[in-house]
């Protein structure tokens, strides 16, 4: 009998609703190729639609399903026109990070063959680095807790703790070690603003302490402002990056821009017990409902989910399936597939068919 893992699925809103079923089809096709494994899906509500229909953006049953699952697959949630009374957007994905203590936001920035880079240098088409975004504190500790005093001033708080920093730095160093074992450079970069703020100087100090335990890795630091220059000037200098929550939020989009756009950038929010896999993009209301969305980031997030299950449950077949998805995506774009955001015409259906056809070969 096939070994089974339970997956809580959050389709969410906007293009999230369009890319969820295709992702499940791709993941299942990859698993069918390796054999011996199956996923049981439990689809639950969260997001702006849930808030409108049920009065809550993240129902208790959805949280329970997430807790009970072996992994969580989330497409995209929130819509700009449906907001909380305080004006903030509905973002159950941010709430899940704190409820499930998902502290490491892992965002691989990997070029896909054939997808044009905005960088003229040919090395811009061969990027392969990882951003690890601290996902439970930093400036986001103030999420929905900011203060507005009269109409004169507003204040949000930024918090860096030793525990929060140690665990995300350790996760980063683990990724750097793993990549090194697979032939990578074994280099970790801390991105901060330690020259101006005590909180970031503390983040850097803890990074140095933890990095000292990994003599086989090389490390460096760079200020956030200078790092944006390197992102567009020489991003190949990076291997694995760790940074504060807000900086990671911004750098993730910048990184996605380097590899073709939001539709190509997968991510994982990982904790000690749970993990959510979702594309870096939002619900893209400007193109929702038109079939134009690029589901690639969602497929690659599904691949990351399989690889995480493989490591956690010592199940190499799941890692093999994840590798098959990545290879099928690479083949499809290498063969000329072009999505709307890179000047082509292909949307959800065509990208899904192209990837599925390669998985069935
Ligand atoms: P959030 O704040 O929830 O991260 P956002 O406001 O940053 O969301 P996105 O929803 O990520 O915005 O969209 C940013 C831009 O990228 C939009 O123009 C959108 O159409 C485009 N985009 C996002 N995801 C995709 C996708 N999968 N395929 C094609 N275009 C996309």
**Beta carbon of 341 within 6 Å of any ligand 1 atom:** yes
Q: Which CATH number fits domain 117-259: 3.40.718.10, 3.20.20.70, 3.30.70.270, 3.30.70.1060?
A: 3.40.718.10
For the chain, give every residue range classified as CATH 3.40.718.10.
1-100+272-361, 117-259
CB-CB contact of 243 with 192 (8 Å): yes
pLDDT at 1: 78
- Ligand 1, closest atom to CA 281? 11
- Dihedral angle of Cα 156, 161, 166, 169, to the nearest 10 degrees: 20
* Contact 46 CB / ligand 1 (< 6 Å): no
pLDDT bin (cut points 50, 70, 90) of residue 90 is very high
Q: Best of 284, 301, 339, 348 to mutate for ligand 1, by most ligand atoms within 8 A of CB?
A: 284
Task: Report d(CA 21, CA 348) in Å as an integer.
Answer: 10
User: Measured from the CB, is residue 282 less than 6 Å from ligand 1?
Assistant: yes
At 283, list the tokens: 């619900």
Nearest C-alpha neighbor of 322 from the set 268, 242, 261 = 268
- If pLDDT is split at 50, 70 and 90, which confidence band does 87 have? confident
Going by alpha carbons, the residue nearest to atom 13 of ligand 1 is 284
Question: Using a 6 Å cutoff on CB, does residue 293 contact ligand 1?
Answer: yes
Q: What is the pLDDT of residue 8?
A: 98
Nearest in space to 105 (alpha carbons), one of 257, 351, 276: 276
**Residue nearest (by alpha carbon) to ligand 1 atom 14:** 284
Q: Which of 192, 325, 335, 342 is nearest to 257 (CA)?
A: 342
Are the C-beta atoms of 73 and 9 separated by less than 8 Å? Answer: yes
Average pLDDT for 166-177 = 98
pLDDT for 86 equals 83
Q: Which CATH number fits domain 1-100+272-361: 3.30.930.10, 3.40.50.150, 3.40.718.10, 2.60.34.10?
A: 3.40.718.10
Q: Which atom of ligand 1 is nearest to the CA of 297?
A: 27
Range 171-188 average pLDDT: 97
Q: How far is the CA of 91 from the centre of ligand 1 (A)?
A: 14
pLDDT at residue 143 in the model? 85
Nearest CA to ligand 1 atom 6: 282
How far, in Å, are 77, 284, 292 from residue 18 at the CA level? 12, 11, 10
- Contact between residue 136 and residue 97 where contact means Cβ atoms under 8 Å apart: yes
Alpha-helical (H) ranges within the chain are 16-34, 48-54, 60-68, 92-99, 162-181, 198-211, 224-233, 245-258, 296-312, 316-334, 348-359
Q: Which of 323, 331, 328, 350 is nearest to 339 (CA)?
A: 350
| Cβ of 267 less than 6 Å from ligand 1 | no
pLDDT tens sequence across 27-75: 999 999 999 999 999 999 999 999 999 999 999 999 999 999 999 999 9
pLDDT tens digits, one per residue of 273-291: 999 999 999 999 999 999 9
Of the residues 76, 252, 282, which should be mutated to test ligand 1's pocket, given the most ligand atoms within 8 Å of the CB?
A: 282
Radius of gyration of the chain (CA): 20
Residue nearest to atom 16 of ligand 1 (CA): 262
pLDDT value at residue 361: 83
Could you tell me if 241 and 130 are in contact, meaning their C-beta atoms sit under 8 angstroms apart? yes
Six-digit token pair at 329?
A: 């995506």
Ligand 1 centre and the CA of 180: distance in Å?
Answer: 32
Q: Could you read off the pLDDT of 101-159 as tens digits, one per residue?
A: 999 999 999 999 999 999 999 999 999 999 999 999 999 998 888 999 999 999 999 99
């Amino acid at each position: 009998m096939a070994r089974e893992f339970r997956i809580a699925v959050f389709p969410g809103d906007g293009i999230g609703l369009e890319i969820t079923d295709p992702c499940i089809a791709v993941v299942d096709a990859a698993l069918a190729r390796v054999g011996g494994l199956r996923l049981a899906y439990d689809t639950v509500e969260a997001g702006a639609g849930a808030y409108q229909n049920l009065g809550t953006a993240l129902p208790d049953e959805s949280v329970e399903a997430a807790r009970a699952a072996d992994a969580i697959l989330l497409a995209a949630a929130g819509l700009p026109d449906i907001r909380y009374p305080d004006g903030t957007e509905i973002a159950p994905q941010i709430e899940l990070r704190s409820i499930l203590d998902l502290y490491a936001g892992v965002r691989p920035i990997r070029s896909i063959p054939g997808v044009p880079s905005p960088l003229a240098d040919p090395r811009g088409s061969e990027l392969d680095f990882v951003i690890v975004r601290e996902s439970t504190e930093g400036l986001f500790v103030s999420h929905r807790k900011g203060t507005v005093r009269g109409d004169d001033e507003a204040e949000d708080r930024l918090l860096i703790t030793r525990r929060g920093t140690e665990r995300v730095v350790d996760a980063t160093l683990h990724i750097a070690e793993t990549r090194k074992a697979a032939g990578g450079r074994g280099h970790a970069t801390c991105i901060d603003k330690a020259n101006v703020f005590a909180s970031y100087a503390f983040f850097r100090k803890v990074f140095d302490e933890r990095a000292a335990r990994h003599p086989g890795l090389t490390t460096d630091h760079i200020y956030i402002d200078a790092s944006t220059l390197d992102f567009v000037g020489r991003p190949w200098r990076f291997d694995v990056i760790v940074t504060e929550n807000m900086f990671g939020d911004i750098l993730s989009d910048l990184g996605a821009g380097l590899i073709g756009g939001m539709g190509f950038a997968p991510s994982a929010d990982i904790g000690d017990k749970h993990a959510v896999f979702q594309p870096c993009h939002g619900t893209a209301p400007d193109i929702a409902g038109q079939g134009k969305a690029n589901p690639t980031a969602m497929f690659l997030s599904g691949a990351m989910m399989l690889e995480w299950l493989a490591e956690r449950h010592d199940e190499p077949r799941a890692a093999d399936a994840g590798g098959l998805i990545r290879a099928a995506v690479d083949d499809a774009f290498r063969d000329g597939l072009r999505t709307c955001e890179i000047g082509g015409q292909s949307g959800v259906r065509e990208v899904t068919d192209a990837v599925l056809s390669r998985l069935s070969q």
